[in-house]
């Protein structure tokens, strides 16, 4: 990106959004807080994942409308980053749900969307973003365990995780062995934003 441009984040909770914001600031020096917009999130008591799924189509459409107003050469400056935990399901389950929402959209613009081409990144940690945060903080973990309750305080771990993520994104194909499969997919999505 030539200059910081607004990025929209559709996340299911504040921790996901904070992790993504930290990554963005590492990747785009000078990116101000004003350049990042967190779309409204679900009530913490509600289902954050369902909220993201329900708002996915609208955010895709808003993103496409916004990009369409720009000349082709500038469209890649506008990003939409979507984050949703895979929870007990699989990453593929979530991707299938996203694809279904696009395929069944009433709006032709959404149906024509190709997320890889249209600067939409979908981050789907298995189980949850805490798994990625621990993984990026040097822990070897598995994706069959929920680590949400490992710590009561996660804020301090997020900047370290985001800094490590930045290194991994820039490291080409040589991701560490301990990198979990869902994080590998997430890194691939994030790399596409700047491809």
3-state DSSP call for residue 170?
A: coil
As measured in angstroms, the least distance from the Cβ of 107 to another protein is: 9
Nearer to another protein, 34 or 114 (CB): 34
**Interface with another protein by CB under 8 A: which range of 65-73, 124-132, 149-157, 175-183?**
65-73
Backbone phi, then psi, for 131, in 5-degree steps?
-60, -45
- Contacting another protein (CB under 8 A), which of 1, 4, 27, 61? 61
Is 14 among the residues that bind another protein (CB under 8 A)?
Answer: no
As measured in angstroms, the least distance from the Cβ of 80 to another protein is: 11
- Contacting another protein (CB under 8 A), which of 1, 62, 141, 192? 62
Is 101 among the residues that bind another protein (CB under 8 A)?
Answer: no
Determine the Cα–Cα distance for residues 84 and 92; give it in Å rounded to an integer: 12
Burial class (CB in 10 A: 0-12, 13-18, 19+), 17: buried
Site for another protein in 17-56 (CB under 8 A): 34, 37, 40
How many alpha carbons fall within 13 Å on the CB side of residue 97? 19
Is 188 among the residues that bind another protein (CB under 8 A)?
Answer: no
Is 65 among the residues that bind another protein (CB under 8 A)?
Answer: yes
Q: Are 100 and 56 in contact (CB under 8 A)?
A: no
Nearest Cα to Cα of residue 11 among 40, 46, 35, 44: 40
Determine the Cα–Cα distance for residues 38 and 21; give it in Å rounded to an integer: 9
- Contacting another protein (CB under 8 A), which of 29, 69, 114, 149? 69
Q: Are 77 and 70 in contact (CB under 8 A)?
A: yes
**Interface with another protein by CB under 8 A: which range of 58-66, 87-95, 155-163, 179-187?**
58-66
Residue ranges in contact with another protein by CB under 8 A:
6, 8, 34, 37, 40, 58, 61-62, 65-66, 69-70
């Amino acid at each position: 990106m030539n200059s910081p441009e607004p990025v929209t984040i559709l996340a299911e909770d504040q921790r996901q959004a904070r992790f993504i914001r930290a990554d963005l600031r590492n990747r785009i020096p000078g990116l101000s807080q004003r350049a990042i917009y967190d779309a409204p999130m679900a009530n913490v008591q509600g289902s954050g994942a369902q909220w993201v799924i329900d708002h996915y189509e609208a955010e895709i459409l808003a993103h496409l409308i916004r990009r369409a107003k720009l000349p082709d050469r500038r469209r890649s400056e506008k990003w939409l980053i979507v984050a949703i935990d895979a929870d007990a399901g699989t990453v593929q389950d979530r991707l299938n749900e996203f694809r279904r929402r696009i395929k069944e959209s009433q709006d032709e613009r959404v149906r024509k969307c190709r997320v890889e081409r249209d600067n939409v990144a979908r981050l789907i940690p298995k189980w949850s973003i805490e798994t990625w945060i621990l993984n990026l903080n040097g822990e070897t973990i598995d994706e069959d365990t929920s680590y949400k309750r490992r710590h009561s305080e996660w804020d301090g771990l997020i900047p370290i995780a985001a800094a490590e993520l930045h290194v991994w994104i820039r490291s080409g194909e040589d991701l560490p062995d301990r990198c979990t499969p869902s994080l590998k997919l997430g890194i691939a999505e994030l790399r596409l934003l700047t491809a």
